Structure 1
């Protein structure tokens, strides 16, 4: 191989290296931090860029996408002195590549460690029962504390989620017993409420039955009274009509004789009935003067009419 060939190959390699050092394509949602002679120069956004070979260099590469960090399980002590193991997931995003490059050495590790210490502090102010009931509130407090601390790093803490809470075996047993007792209590309450409602329904039914029977009896008595009143009214009207017709008939020719005959017949009939119902024989003082008695009754009728 001649010297010319070696020189050409060397020149070609130098050109390739120069192009590689000069031209840079930044992907979407990424930023490149450029240093010139060891000092921060600028931040490149997505697209094609030209650098000065051997003077400019890409010092840091940051993604602007949301990042998920698994926070290692840690042991925390609650306000009521119960040790629990907590796993968490942290969601962060780089908003300032310059601060993320020069504000801290490793923002991911720092955010994870800060999440652990903040969680221990928040759990230490919370009772065990509330760690389950107020997860959302605990997460908000952790995010608030992390976001304030991570601001100088150019990092935005979006949210924190407690993925798991591990309890000691003794506490699990106690909680299970408590839950079982609570379920039994609720079942007993539900049963008693059902029995109480059943008794109320039965008593209401009996009450309504008594009311219905009394209303029916009241209506029956009213109907019977109205019927008797109507009966008396009709009998009285019929009796009055009959009396008027008898009075009119007496005024007709021969009517007086018919009345005398009728009275005499009734007198003899009733006297016979009286004799049948008594052991003692009753004989009128004036047995032969029956006609006089009839005439006397007739006079009474006349005087009554007058």
Structure 2
């Protein structure tokens, strides 16, 4: 009798007389001498293997594959070398997946590519008792010309974004300036309107005040002429003074004068003006007398 202690996370494949007998689980195990022998020892831990760099015409890329044994029996008898087989399957699957994608998609969709590789490996490795947990593309090495083109594309994209941002800034600045001019014009027009209204109102009020002052002055003059002693004589003197002053101003304004035949007789002209005034005044008094003394019907 042979006593064996199987470590944790390991599975021992026992053959009896050259034929599979059983799988030893972790713990104390007893074997029959000469009949039983341990043929395979499989680790149930997760294993990481490096996938060598693969050349796919335009790309050189490598990765890391994580897998573990889920069925020790299949891993022992379903495939000769499980690790080598999984590595080769990962390489061929990676080539197939990359061949279906463009360069830009390969660089931008690494997560999607990793998921597709894991799904393809699990489908093929199910009969080997192996489960692929995840696959990570580690490095992607495009050719130098491709790298140079990518740098140029990135630079062009940055230049494009800078120009777009600059144009947007210029556009917004122009809009702000236009809005400012618009508001300024509106405010200026409203100010001009208010100024014109105030000016017109002031002029109207001034005209009204001047008219009221002129009317009041005329009324007072009329009262003074009618009701004050010597009013008639004062008016006569004023008329004569204005008459003479008017002829004096004619010589200052123009060289052409239109004078009455008796222009050399100042006294006669004044007398004539007073006669006109007396005639108007007498007619005014007669009209008032007729209105006052008219018989009632």
TM over 0.5: yes
1:278 matched to 2:276? The reply is no
Structure 1, gaps ≥5 residues long: 1-17
| Structure 1 residues 37 and 173: alpha-carbon distance in aligned structure 2, compared to 1, 3 A threshold | same
Judge conservation of contact 1:93–1:156 (CA < 8 Å) in 2.
yes
2:20 to 26, 29, 40: 40
Judge conservation of contact 1:260–1:294 (CA < 8 Å) in 2.
no
Deviation of 1:107 after TM superposition, in Å, equals: 0.8
Deviation of 1:211 after TM superposition, in Å, equals: 5.4
Structure 2, gaps ≥5 residues long: 252-256, 292-297
Judge conservation of contact 1:92–1:159 (CA < 8 Å) in 2.
yes
Judge conservation of contact 1:122–1:142 (CA < 8 Å) in 2.
yes
Cα RMSD for the two superposed structures: 3.8
Tell me the secondary structure at the aligned position of residue 287 of structure 1.
helix
2:127 to 152, 157, 163: 152
1:50 matched to 2:30? The reply is yes
Structure-1 residue corresponding to 2:295? none
Deviation of 1:148 after TM superposition, in Å, equals: 0.6
Tell me the secondary structure at the aligned position of residue 271 of structure 2.
coil
Please identify, of 183-192 and 229-238, the stretch whose mean Cα deviation from structure 2 is larger. Answer: 183-192
Structure-2 residue corresponding to 1:194? 166
Tell me the secondary structure at the aligned position of residue 270 of structure 2.
coil
Deviation of 1:65 after TM superposition, in Å, equals: 1.5
Structure-1 residue corresponding to 2:254? none
Structure-2 residue corresponding to 1:74? 54
Tell me the secondary structure at the aligned position of residue 79 of structure 2.
coil
- CA separation in 2, counterparts of 1:112 and 1:166? 20
Judge conservation of contact 2:14–2:40 (CA < 8 Å) in 1.
yes
Within-5 A mapping of 1:167-186: 167=142, 171-177=143-149, 179-180=151-152, 182-184=154-156, 186=158
| Structure 1 residues 47 and 209: alpha-carbon distance in aligned structure 2, compared to 1, 3 A threshold | same
Please identify, of 179-188 and 219-228, the stretch whose mean Cα deviation from structure 2 is larger. Answer: 179-188
Deviations 1:76-130 (A, max 9, x none): 23xxxx4x33322111111111211221121111001111122222233333333
Deviation of 1:191 after TM superposition, in Å, equals: 3.6
Deviations 1:212-254 (A, max 9, x none): 1464155224313422323322441463366358648856996
Deviation of 1:152 after TM superposition, in Å, equals: 0.6
| Structure 1 residues 46 and 193: alpha-carbon distance in aligned structure 2, compared to 1, 3 A threshold | same
Deviation of 1:195 after TM superposition, in Å, equals: 5.2
